[in-house]
Amino acid sequence: MSSAAITPSAAARAPAEPKPLTGLALLFAALAIGMSNFLVVLDTTIANVSVPTIAGALGVSATQGTWVITAYAVAEAITVPLTGWLTKRFGAKRVFLTCYFAFGILSLLCGLAFSFGQLIAGRVLLGLAGGPIMPLSLMMLIYVFPKDKAMLANVLWAMTTIIGPIAGPILGGIISDTVGWQWIFFIKVPIAAIGGVMCLVLLRGVKDRLEHATIDYVGLGLLVLWVASFQIMIDEGRNLDWFASHEVRLLAVLSAISFAAFVIWELTAKNPIVDLKIFRHRGFTVSALTYSFGFAAFFASVVILPLWLQQNMGYTATWAGYATGVMGILAMLCAPAIGKSLEKGLDPRLVVFIGLMGLGMLHVWRMGFSPEVTFVQMMWPTVLSGIFMVMFFIPVSGLALASVPADEMANAAGVSNFMRTLAGAIAVAIVQTAWNNAQRVNQTELAGAMTNGEHVVREMTASGMSHEAAVFSLSRIVEGQSLTLATLNVFAGIAILFMLSACFIWLAPKPKGPIDTTGGH
């Protein structure tokens, strides 16, 4: 079928047609379902600032401690694209509720871990449970909202996806500094328990429609192999000096071969575990790629800005989190209005284009930052980015789902979220490596261009400083300037990626009317 049709025509859906909720039931169901996605996305960043604390408490090095992040990311990346198969085999609601409750239980076990091995095992299981929640939470929201309010489902889901990675470092820093690292896991337990029970009660009207789905063992094995090897490669690459390392080269070859084998097998298998034929829909393919590129730029920005503020500007982890968290203010205020404009038939491609171009221009603004920038000066482009973020997130996710038949919606949600997750991981690895390399190059160039260094040191010593203190002070100045220049270089790269993504969305077919992701409901 042509992906230019924005309204899916297929009648089949993963669950049987539910009766949309209204009033307080709809409100509570929306909050409970939205919170599930928020918890999973939050977990991708909440442990980042706590890694040194966790490593010290469990007696491992900081480098080993990063496996707390890697283990979760690998496991999550494996199960996200399996959502379509899991939905056919067990039912969307059943998988969603099982993963929701499991997420709470496994968070408890992670907090109770008394050895590093136990924590890593818990994080792997937590990622496996969290993966399907991201796409299925969007499906559940679409099922419970009335057709005329379906856009609000996309708005709510997009908001949890935006706010989650921003709130993670803030909460992680505050919790680790006050009550202990275990509570970054414990805090999610009661929320998942209450949210799961609310969903169990309020989603009783959603009846799962099951299909016969055999297990594609070969496809599953190849998926695990290429995703795990690739994710470990990009997570550990910067610690091992990338392709100068034998381990990284081995992982790169393994991931490339297993990926090629996975694609060939899934395209020819009778019952593939991930149906790659979803990419025959041009609207989905373009939207999913735009989503991935835009999210990669967004996530790179969310990572690099706090790092710069902490390492160069003297911010604490908590205050660096606040500096990025202000993005959510205008995002929450503007989201309903943007959703309404899309409901009235505004071309979603135009909204995505404006959103991504706006984010690109804000990063051009950031390229004018200096080490003397104040919190308020630095905050303004971050605050304004909230408007453009919702203009990007809301329509692009809705356009991807609306471009496929209803019986392929679960697979589309899983694949698009997998692409987004993988793009974010790649972006972080690239941006941190580029940032470190640019900082070293800039520092060398600045030191070589500073012909009056000895004169500056003599003036410092003449003012009463010791020679060692003067040299150290001058070195710190050069290091700070080189770090700032490296950050501005990264901002330039992020701006370019945002703008290229904005142009790419126009390759999607023009929608025929407002976005409809309800699949006939």
CA nearest neighbour of 387 among 326, 346, 323: 326
| Three-class secondary structure of residue 492 per DSSP | helix
φ and ψ of 222, to 5 deg: -65, -35
Quick one: 368 exposed, middle or buried, by C-beta within 10 A (0-12, 13-18, 19+)? exposed
| Measured torsion, CA atoms of residues 429, 430, 434, 436, in degrees rounded to the nearest 10 | 0
With residue 453 as reference, give the H or E element that holds it.
Answer: helix 453-462
The pLDDT value given to residue 478: 63
DSSP code string of 316-355: -HHHHHHHHHTHHHHHHHHHHHHHHHHHTT--HHHHHHHH
φ and ψ of 401, to 5 deg: -75, -35
The pair of structure tokens assigned to 27 is 């409100």
DSSP code string of 217-258: HHHHHHHHHHHHHHHHHHHHTTTTTGGGSHHHHHHHHHHHHH
What's the CA gap between 498 and 486, in Å, rounded? 19
The pLDDT value given to residue 3: 39
Contact predicate 74/128, CB 8 Å: no
Quick one: 105 exposed, middle or buried, by C-beta within 10 A (0-12, 13-18, 19+)? middle
CA nearest neighbour of 70 among 198, 235, 199, 298: 235
Contact predicate 143/521, CB 8 Å: yes
Q: What is the pLDDT along the chain (521 residues), one digit of tens a residue?
A: 333 333 333 333 444 455 777 788 888 988 999 999 999 888 877 877 677 778 888 888 766 777 787 788 778 878 887 887 788 888 888 899 999 999 999 999 999 988 888 998 999 899 899 989 988 898 888 888 887 777 777 788 878 877 877 778 778 878 877 888 889 899 999 999 999 999 998 888 777 676 666 777 888 888 888 888 887 887 777 777 788 888 888 988 998 999 999 889 888 888 787 788 888 889 899 999 999 999 889 888 877 887 777 777 777 767 777 777 777 778 878 888 888 888 777 888 999 999 999 999 999 998 888 777 888 888 888 889 888 988 998 888 878 888 888 778 777 877 888 888 888 878 877 887 887 777 777 666 666 656 665 655 566 676 666 656 665 566 666 666 777 888 888 899 999 999 999 999 999 888 776 665 544 44
Looking up tokens 């041009």, which residue turns up?
A: 282
